[in-house]
Structure 1
Amino acid sequence: MEGETEGARLKVAALADLHVGETDKHAFRDLFAEISRTADVMALAGDLTNLGTVQEAEVLAEDLHSCSIPVVAVLGNHDHECGCAEEVTRILRQVGVCVLEGSSTEIDGVAFVGVKGFAGGFGRFMLGSFGENAIKTFVSETLQESLRLENALRAVRPGRVVVLLHYAPIVDTVKGEPPEIYPFLGCSRLAETIERFPVSAIVHGHAHHGTFEGRTASGVPVYNVARMIEKPGGKPYHLIEI
Structure 2
Amino acid sequence: MDKLSINIIATSDIHAPAGLSLLRKATSSVNFDADIMILAGDLIDRGKKEYYGEVLRILDSLGDIPKIAVFGNDEFDSIKEDLKKEFGGEIIFLDDGALTMVISGISVGIVGTKGSLERPTSWQRSNIPGISRIYEERISTIGKLISELKTDVRILVSHYAPTFRTLAGEDPSTWKFLGHRGYEEIIVKNKLSLVVHGHSHRGLRKAVIGSTPVYNVALPLWKELVCISISASPAGLNSFL
TM-score normalized by the length of structure 1: 0.79
From the two aligned structures, give the one with the greater strand fraction: 2
Matches of 1:237 and 1:62 in 2, distance apart? 15
* Residue number in structure 2 paired with 1:224: 216
Q: Give the drift of 1:215.
A: 1.7
Could you tell me how far apart the structure 1 residues matched to 2:50 and 2:127 are? Answer: 32
Question: Which residue identity does 2:147 align to in structure 1?
Answer: R
> For residue 91 of structure 2, what is the amino acid of its counterpart?
V
- The answer to whether the 8 Å contact 1:162/1:200 transfers is yes
- Which residue matches 1:106? 100
Q: Give the secondary-structure state (helix, strand or coil) at the position aligned to 2:173.
A: helix
Structure 1 residues 104-141: Cα deviation after superposition (integer angstroms, max 9, x where no partner):
223312222111102106xxxxx9xxxx9999923212
1:117 aligns to what? 115
Correspondence for 1:87 among 82, 87, 110: 82
1:185-211 Cα shifts (integer Å, max 9, x gaps): 000112223333231010111010001
Aligned residues: 221
1:20 is the counterpart of 2:8: no
Match of 1:59? Answer: 54
**Partners in 2 of 1:55 and 1:134 — Cα distance?**
24
The separation in 2 between residues aligned to 1:59 and 1:38, in whole angstroms, is: 22
Query: Taking structure 1 as reference, are residues 164 and 183 closer, same or farther at Cα in structure 2, changes over 3 Å only?
Result: same
- What is the aligned counterpart of 2:145 among 148, 152, 161? 152
194, 206, 210: which is aligned to 2:203? 210
Aligned-partner SS, 1:39: coil
State the Cα RMSD in Å. Answer: 2.9
Aligned to 1:124: none
Q: Could you tell me how far 1:154 is from its partner in structure 2?
A: 2.8
Corresponding letter in the other structure for 2:42: D
Gaps of 5+ in 1: 122-126
Residues 8 and 227, structure 2, Cα contact 8 Å, conserved in 1: yes
8 A contact 1:101–1:116 mirrored in 2 = yes
Q: Deviations over 1:42-82 (max 9, x none)?
A: 1111111112233122322433443411111111101117x
Structure 2 unaligned blocks of 5 or more:
231-241
Percent sequence identity over aligned pairs? 26
Moved over 6 A (4+): 23-27, 132-136
* 1:241 is aligned to 2:229: yes
Q: Is the 8 Å Cα contact of residues 7 and 227 (structure 2) preserved in structure 1?
A: yes
Q: How much has 1:173 moved relative to structure 2?
A: 0.4
Partners in 2 of 1:168 and 1:175 — Cα distance? 12
